Structure 1
Amino acid sequence: METILDKMHIDLDGLFRTIKHPLVILDKDDNIVTSNDDAEFFFGLRRNILNKYKFTALYSTTSPLYYLINQSREKKTTIREYSLMLKNIIDKKEHEVDIQVSPFEDTDYLLLMFIERGIAKKFNRQYMQAGSAKSLVEMSSILAHEIKNPLSGIKGAAQLLLDGASHENQSLISIICDETDRINNLINSMQIFSDSSQIKKEKINMHTIFNHVKMIAENGFAKDIKFIERFDPSLPHVHGNKDLLIQVLMNLIKNSSEAIKNNSNKGEIILSSSFLSSVRISLPTSSKKIELPL
């Protein structure tokens, strides 16, 4: 018997493992045909057992879930509901969740994603109970953890796509992986409420920073803008933090692109590098541009 995994020409099971929310897929008769690891913990059943269950064995037919399921089937569109209270028949536990029901195109299958609402309540409870800087550090730690969860999912999905991608698309997918790593590193280094934060520095080739940010800009917010490169190949390595340099350069290029777009796209962005001893900021005589060396 052909399953949904056979019909989909991607490693759906591998993709499931990267998404850090409970997921289940139902067939037209509301049988659970597959699920992910997070669904095991959410429903309290091992996947090989859960995947043999009918969905009505988990939730009563009077549950508002079935209204969402029916609406998604009838309208063939994604249906979302927020702050829904669900009680599992098997373990009798009640969960407050956001639910998303999505139909697979040209099939009778539905994807259900459960997003637990516990993090918002936990964040609020810690904020109300504590009035010190320590509590703020704890809350930022919780928030950082929640940001990193979808980041790992994004990178995992990108890595799955990388294997079968064309050479041109591989470079774009690599940007996704690099940028998720950069955000992850920024989160790890965040000590917002501490005076003792340390910036990790290393020897960096600035031209790799230029090329990385330029590729992101050309495929995103500055895709219609002309870039001109004037690099000095003899430029020595600089001692700095890679992620922060990317962030600074990204902001400068984004500001430049917005200025150009506000001027009817009349303009170009020049990326140049040169070594001038003791010179930190250079203001050219021309009124048409301002150079801000890093």
Structure 2
Amino acid sequence: MSDVAVRPDPQSQIAGLVFAMILLDPDGIIEETNPAAEDLLGSSASRLLGNRFLDKVEITDPRVFERFADGEARLTARGLPIGVPGGSRQVNLTLSPVAGHEGWRVVTLSDIGQTDMDEAPEDAMLAAPAVLAHEIKNPLAAIRGAGQLLVKKLPEADRPFARLIAGEVDRIARLIDRMQRLGSKNTDPLEEINLHEIIRSALTVIQSADDRGVTFEEEFDPSLPGVWASRDALQQVLINLLGNARDACHDVDGGGTVIVQTRFVSGLVMNALRPGRSVRLPIEVTIIDNGPGIDPALRDRVFEPFVTSKKGGQGLGLALVRKLVRDMEGRIAHERDDRAQQTRFRINLATAPKAAR
């Protein structure tokens, strides 16, 4: 066998793309798809080919719809909401005519969640609070000590005020601990993890604390291989997301429901985490609740620090979740399906390498 590398043919190159690529004939009929398109649209190639693209993908934006009606139009749309069999998604979409082939067009779609692993602009912002936190904790300890001393010396009637000082100092200290963790560059070592074991452990924690009358449902693929993750980090991610889902739907008329789904995403998921490097992320965990969802004004910023719609919330929980998922070289995305009245948080992780099995 020759040592000279064989150059991939165009079809192999298209099959390896991270984003969905779909070829449309002059009538808007799907003629070719790549594996990423099958996954994003939630249908196999055999179910997609021969169908009108706009019958398989619901587009409500009239401007985009008009461009599809023009056989020679070019289009780039970012953050476009679409409807697919698996629910609603937000994607970046391009529409390009094929030179020399009148009416033929290529559509590309990329789930905006795939960009979650890029360096976020707030990362630099987190470094300063992490450094500042270390300097704040020392005087906080002194304030707490003074508060404890006052409790012993003040008359009983005045002691609640001193206890309030100690309580507020403890609350601020916990907030600082979370800020420090957000800004930390240290990551836990990764190992092969039984995903369903970790999910059930997180469910036990959430339900034993306060299930608020919410029903939890499991929709697991029992054939999944082990994931490549940090046990503690993954459990923390799941506890945060399950707790948020429980809180979001506990007041729903007819009863709140949280569904945890796992599946193997074939043919996708190549995420460029660093220049020149990509990681396949085929293990998917989705946490779904039937609550009212996050304030639409905040949905695009849900993973940013200090952004929250919770009364009394600190806005660090989902920022920490994203940080931990990124440390495991995974991705996380948030979706709202208004038709199904469901909020989804979707996590993709790598399988354990063969050497670890």
TM range (shorter): 0.3 to 0.5
TM-score normalised by L of structure 1: 0.38
Which structure is higher in RCO with an 8 Å CA cutoff and minimum separation 6? 2
Greater per-residue helix proportion = 1
TM-score, normalisation: structure 2: 0.32
Richer in strand (by share): 2
